[in-house]
Structure 1
């Protein structure tokens, strides 16, 4: 049986950082460990945290805004590091795990200062700024893709291919397989554009659908996530075409919609790419052109190379190009099924378990628990003695 440990996780304030952290936290808690997570106010508002997860907000500082902004960020990071050192001394984690983003930096710096083992996880196919800064200072680097840009060659021996943790509901889709697609049956299209939708998808996808032959339109069903401002326009376009379509600003039952879909059109965030690969769903990706280091373009590299998806840069994403691809995939016998198999071949459904195994491997052996508890007791006793001396 694994000895109970404490683990401290630190993640930036976006879903891309927080959701893998939540997944690892849930796995470690299920294994009997105690887990705390550090982020900023924005990150801790993201839903999905395990009920038993302890949370903390520490100053981090975002490095931007010229010399004045840099100084402010440095002061915030310094303050956050000092607070993280106090947290580590109090919580006594066996390992500190960073998931990228500036809010993870103070905890990773504190881990180094306190000689606590540390691991970082990179969700994207380009090593992020915080993870690049800390790569040489941590014990292990978990990555989600075979090819990672901006990865320091000197850190190659720390690299572990893990993947991105995904929800159990997504893994269940993989186990159920691809939905049957009859030659004259319904073709189901799912359109998602990140957490809030994307206007470019609202503009291009209905226009592309309008260019499909009538026989295919009569077989098409669409579920599309749209920005609030775009919903009524998109609904009207599909209604005018006679296409059964459901539009919403947020898809609350995403796993069920993904299970339902034959083809997905989406942005290329790390979580989306991982979920489509694990579920085994063919996709058309439209990478967000303003993503840091253009990481969304590189996130889809493995899936595209395997034949499980195509990627269209936003500047080239137009109704004619999309209509041509939808028509070919929907009408060519076996095309969607084959692409689904190829997408599934890129999935890493054991990422959560493998990441937890990696993190646990850097915890001290059970014998060290006695030493650590003894040292903690001695520190506490010394503190009591000092307080008594001061009182006298």
Structure 2
């Protein structure tokens, strides 16, 4: 079959689409990507998949902004319809975000089956607009806010696809850690980076007790404008740190890490829970519908993560949390198990199964493997 994937904007949409593309190609299907210019620029994704960039407007900006957005969406819809007459997809899979909107509208106009994938625990705006016409809605969490009850018959819980090299980490032992081993910390702000992490994390690590501080090995993603200042700060603190603007070898970095300090984007949490890595999460406060806070709740409740609101995210607060987590190797190991307990490592396979069913004209099935609530165990999360 031929499958079109519609995604763009950020890594949060592109990474799961990339994972699905690899699985569909492995099964012998043809795959095409429709995206925007930002999505096409993300490194190391879709290198062997035909890619088409379509215009896509972003709703907002008052009446003039709405007119411009509508014009761009209509232009993208026309281009997508012309594209589909050449490629003839059996289904179109949208991963949310405005770049997916024209491609999905065109599919509905041509009676091509559509599947929506929602990475977050809150249904996104574009997916809310298209939920009524979609043939199936694949979710990443058992409970998704802003999803109308009448659409639940279309829902399949599949999880958020991650690369096979990440999901494989969940079958491997947690990196060895004891009272003398290096403490390896990975800091990531998602595909866009996060200035606040660069300004807070180095000072927090500098406040740690000597027995932890002297064992630190840090890998940190920084925004390009921030990287030199962060590098200078780590040098002044005499803390070894590898700084990157984009982490292309994320599976390798996750494999080595004992603790992750990160935003609470959907792909980040999917990778952490598939790999079984404990985390301290700082949800992006301006995320639409505060979806990052909602994303983090399941992992935190299970004991695999702690959340720090950004308005409370200060060096002394973070330092205290790190010492509480890393001061007891057994607690850190337990937290890794709690993280893994809410992971959905089969998400890519389950989503591909769903896409094949819809493309073949079958009704959606509840194909997701529902994870049972985590048993209470020593961890690092908020109380259940």
TM-score (norm 1): 0.87
Cα distance in 1 between the residues matched to 2:34 and 2:117: 15
Task: Name the residue aligned to 2:9.
Answer: 13
Where 1:300 maps in the other structure, the secondary structure is: helix
Q: Which aligned pairs between 1:209-288 and structure 2 lie closer than 5 A? A: 209-288=205-284
Q: Which aligned pairs between 1:156-235 and structure 2 lie closer than 5 A? A: 156-235=152-231
Structure 1 unmatched runs, 5+: 367-392
TM superposition shift of 1:299: 1.2
TM superposition shift of 1:154: 0.9
Is the CA contact (8 Å cut-off) linking 1:63 and 1:70 kept in structure 2? yes
* Mapped pair 1:332 → 2:328: yes
Cα distance in 1 between the residues matched to 2:123 and 2:200: 31
TM superposition shift of 1:211: 2.1
Task: Name the residue aligned to 1:381.
Answer: none
TM superposition shift of 1:95: 1.0
Task: Name the residue aligned to 1:22.
Answer: 18
**Aligned counterpart in structure 2 of residue 299 of structure 1, from 287, 295, 302:** 295
Change (3 A) 1:238 1:128: same
Cα distance in 2 between the residues matched to 1:111 and 1:30: 24
Count of residue pairs brought into register by the alignment: 362
**Aligned counterpart in structure 2 of residue 310 of structure 1, from 274, 296, 306:** 306
RMSD: 1.9
Task: Name the residue aligned to 2:74.
Answer: 78
CA offset digits 1:236-285 (Å, max 9, x no partner)? 44344443333333333322121111111011111111111111110001
Task: Name the residue aligned to 2:347.
Answer: 351
Cα distance in 1 between the residues matched to 2:223 and 2:109: 45
Task: Name the residue aligned to 2:44.
Answer: 48
Which range moves more in the overlay, 322-331 or 305-314? Answer: 322-331
Cα distance in 1 between the residues matched to 2:120 and 2:267: 9
**Which protein is bigger by CA-based radius of gyration?**
1
Cα distance in 2 between the residues matched to 1:116 and 1:226: 41
Change (3 A) 1:56 1:226: closer
CA offset digits 1:62-103 (Å, max 9, x no partner)? 212211221222222223223322322332211111111112
Task: Name the residue aligned to 1:382.
Answer: none
* Mapped pair 1:115 → 2:111: yes
Which range moves more in the overlay, 64-73 or 309-318? Answer: 64-73
Where 2:170 maps in the other structure, the secondary structure is: helix
Is the CA contact (8 Å cut-off) linking 1:177 and 1:280 kept in structure 2? no
Change (3 A) 1:13 1:224: closer
Change (3 A) 1:66 1:233: closer
Cα distance in 2 between the residues matched to 1:17 and 1:201: 22
Is the CA contact (8 Å cut-off) linking 1:122 and 1:131 kept in structure 2? yes
Is the CA contact (8 Å cut-off) linking 2:10 and 2:191 kept in structure 1? no
Cα distance in 2 between the residues matched to 1:29 and 1:130: 27
Which range moves more in the overlay, 207-216 or 298-307? Answer: 207-216
TM superposition shift of 1:177: 2.1
Cα distance in 1 between the residues matched to 2:140 and 2:302: 16
Cα distance in 2 between the residues matched to 1:352 and 1:112: 24
Cα distance in 1 between the residues matched to 2:252 and 2:221: 14
Where 2:67 maps in the other structure, the secondary structure is: helix
Change (3 A) 1:103 1:226: closer
CA offset digits 1:208-231 (Å, max 9, x no partner)? 222222222222222222234433
Is the CA contact (8 Å cut-off) linking 1:7 and 1:36 kept in structure 2? yes
Task: Name the residue aligned to 2:59.
Answer: 63
Is the CA contact (8 Å cut-off) linking 1:164 and 1:270 kept in structure 2? yes
